[in-house]
Structure 1
Amino acid sequence: MSAAQGADILPKVELLTFKQKQERKQYMLKLLKHLVI
C-alpha cells in the first residue's frame, strides 16, 4: 500500500468512528428518555 492510499483511507476510518460515536450518543439519549419516562 502506498502512502497516498494510506492517506486516502485514514479520513474514511475517522468518519466511520465519528458516525459510530454519534449513533451511540443518540442510542444512549433514547435509553435515558425511556428510563426517565
Structure 2
Amino acid sequence: MVKIYVYLVKAGLKKLEEVPAIIRDQVKKALEDEK
C-alpha cells in the first residue's frame, strides 16, 4: 500500500487531490500502520 502512496507522490501532489477519497483513506491508514 505504501508503494501506491510513493507512486502518487511521484506522479505529482496536484494529482493527489484527484484521487478518490476511498483510496486516500486507505493510504492514510497504511501510513498510520507504518508508524
TM-score range, shorter chain: 0.3 to 0.5
* TM-score, L = length of structure 1: 0.43
- Give 1 or 2 for the bigger CA radius of gyration: 1
Structure with more relative contact order (C-alpha pairs < 8 Å, separation 6 or more): 2
More helix by share: 1
